[in-house]
Structure 1
Amino acid sequence: MRIAILDDYQSVALSMADWSVLPAGVEVVSFRDHLHDEDALVARLEGFDAISRMRERTEFPRRVLERLPRLKLLLATGRRNSDTIDLAAATELGITVCSTASIPCFPVELTWGLVLALFRRIPFEHAAVQGGGWQSGLGRGLNGRTLGVVGLGTIGLPVARIGQAFGMEVIAWSRNLTAERAAEAGVARVSKEELLERSDAVTLHVPLTPESTHLIGEAELARMKSDAYLINTSRGPLIDEAALVRALKGRRIGGAGLDVFDVEPLPAEHPLRGLDNAVLTPHIGYVTEDNYRIYFTQTVENIQAYLAGKPMRVLMPGDKVLNFAH
């Protein structure tokens, strides 16, 4: 068996688990770069029996799976995979798809890292000190400010609770949020328009669907306060990226904290790079040693189980979010 590990950006996959437990003759090859071109991806993978992918970094629609006749085992990681792997096609083609657990709290932590970085100007003050300077501007406190949470689910709810702990007023909106659920969290449910107009920080925590694509566009950005911040640690296309660039360049909002983008890795010439009112991180919300050890340890377990004829943590057509114990 030949196994490909995709998008191993930090070259850590082989050190996050004990791959030596696999039988002799199993070859594991790690690829650090990401291939956007579908033909190049197929050419790279056509000689492998199994593929391990990191979260949703590489999509596997039917047209790709059909071009990989040797593929028998697709090793996914994380809880959400059905939107980017055609599970029905995999089943028809005889490809077993297995996944792993994931710890959901880490994007919450990064969200607050970005909020604090923006309000307290941490990257800019760090740069000032490193450059030989000292205090370069005035930060803003969180206490008494208003936090607008879009999506009060697995990530949004703890984000809201932390905002309350900082002394913020927390308001929330999503298409499916009820006033009762919001009240249980001590949060006021408001309209999308009111949330945008009142919030000092707007943070997005909803899944990417056709309905949520460009949830924040030109009109929504125009409703925000001129000094408000927009934070996105969910999925890049929730925001109309071109509209956001225009708003940031025109100083129509205070700034943005972004961990996710339309195209990843973010192209070197992208206009978001270099903007002094944007704090950017390279999609690291879930990227922790803790999660990686789960992902790759359970991936090795999934390979062992498959080779033993007893596949485990198998994803089937219709599966949405998996809650495997870690």
Structure 2
Amino acid sequence: MRVTITDLDHDSYAIEQAAADAEGVELLFINGDADSATDPRVKGTDGLVVQYAKVDAAAMDYLLPELKVIGRYGVGVDTIDLDAARERGIAVVNVPDYGTQSVADHAITLALGVIRNIKELDTLARKSTMDLAPAAPIHQFVDLTFGVVGFGAIGRACAEKARGLGFTTVVTDPLIPEGTTEVDGFTVASFDEVLATSDVVSVHIPLLDSTKHLFSDETFAKMKDGAIIVNTARGGVIDTEALVRAVESGKLLGAGIDVLEVEPVPADAPITKLDRVLLSPHAAYYSEESYVLLKQRVIRNTVDVLKGRECRFTVVPPKK
């Protein structure tokens, strides 16, 4: 039984190797590119593990009849043709839970950094000045409302952390049944109500056709004056140019942004020039702990399917 990792931008695959060894499974790493699913070295593999490699119908046909499962590092499976996999009885698994706490931690960190204006305070301290005027306004959490858009695992974790810090916390999610006013002690509101009442809006929704540029000029206009937006979800959910306009105009106080429409962000992009915007390079998922979990679980989930065990995170179930 063989599992092949097509591509990986990590420094090592030793963790994956250990996970495969523990299962008695052969592991092959080919260090390929986006088209490596059809590399001749992959032929004959039972399980395919990909990071960025594209796996379309043609690649699946090339790897059949041996291929039984495709594992994807992380949450997104947009590089895999799910319909083609379903038609061919090929299972698809992912690892959506490895970074839940790390992403929630990062969202909170960005929010707090902007609220307390840590970026400007650091600059002032390095200039040997104790004049706080350039850093104003600075707020305390207990007087603010923290709105969570998207109440999945990460959104829930973020809401719990925000509540623990003293924020009044409100959540919204189209999957929460209409008419629900409270979930696990959190106030549930409509999307527009969250925009209008929240001092911080933290985004935790997937990028779909329906959510692309959900945050636009029109959306920002509905937000509370002087609010902050935080995005650790997907860059395309926010219209970056509209965000720049909202901050430059003073409609928004600032933003904490981990994901952008163009990555890496160009050094001369307008958003990099905004003082009260904290940027990070798509790093919310990362912690020492989540890194290990991701690498272990992508192998284990793939092997679970190959060995006929139940796999908790199955995007396309195995053929019965």
TM-score tier by shorter-chain length is: 0.7 to 0.9
Question: CA distance change for structure 1 residues 24 and 148 in 2, over 3 Å: closer, same or farther?
Answer: closer
The code of the aligned residue for 1:42 comes to D
Partner of 1:185: 184
Shift of 1:182: 4.0
What is the TM-score of this pair, normalised by structure 2?
0.76
CA 170–97 in structure 1, closer or farther in 2 if over 3 Å, else same: closer
**Contact 1:148–1:200 (8 Å) recurs in 2:** yes
CA contact (8 A) 2:117 2:276 kept: no
Give 1:112's aligned residue: 108
Q: Which runs of 5+ in 1 are unaligned?
A: 32-39, 320-326
What RMSD in Å do the two structures reach over aligned CA positions? Answer: 3.7
**Selected match of 1:46 from 35, 39, 46:** 39
8 Å CA contact 2:37, 2:59 repeated in 1: no
> Per-residue deviation at 1:114?
0.8
Per-residue deviation, 1:131: 5.3
Which of 56, 64, 70 is the aligned partner of 1:62?
Answer: 56
SS of residue in 2 equivalent to 1:105: helix
3-state secondary structure, aligned to 2:141: coil
Moved more, 138-147 or 162-171: 162-171
Distance 2:200 2:38 in 1: 43
Alignment partner, residue 102 of structure 1: 97
Letter in 1 for 2:34: L
| Correspondence 1:259 to 2:258 | yes
Q: Which amino acid aligns with 2:145?
A: T
Give, as a single letter, the amino acid of the residue that structure 1 aligns with 2:84.
A
Q: Distance in 2 between matches of 1:101 and 1:41?
A: 21
- 1:16/1:90 Cα in 2 relative to 1: closer, same or farther (>3 Å)? closer
The runs of 5 or more residues in structure 2 that have no matched partner are none
Contact 2:20 2:299 in 1 (8 A): no
Aligned counterparts, 1:155-194, within 5 A: 155-178=154-177, 181-194=180-193
The answer to whether the 8 A contact 2:5-2:27 is kept is no
Query: What's the offset of the Cα at 1:45?
Result: 6.1
Which residue is equivalent to 1:74? 70
What percent identity do the matched residue pairs reach? 25
| 1:11 to 2:7 alignment | no
* Alpha-carbon shift at residue 157 of structure 1 (Å): 2.6
Q: Higher mean Cα deviation, 202-211 or 11-20?
A: 11-20
Offset at 1:84? 4.5
Determine if contact 2:145/2:168 at 8 Å carries over to the other structure: yes
Question: Is the helix fraction higher in 1 or 2?
Answer: 2
| Structure 2 counterpart of 1:36 | none
Partner of 1:28: 29
SS in 2 for 1:266: coil
How many correspondences in the alignment? Answer: 304
CA gap of 1:128–1:68, structure 2 versus 1, over 3 A, is: farther
C-alpha change, 1:221 and 1:311, in structure 2 (3 Å) is: same
What's the TM-score, normalizing by structure 1?
Answer: 0.75
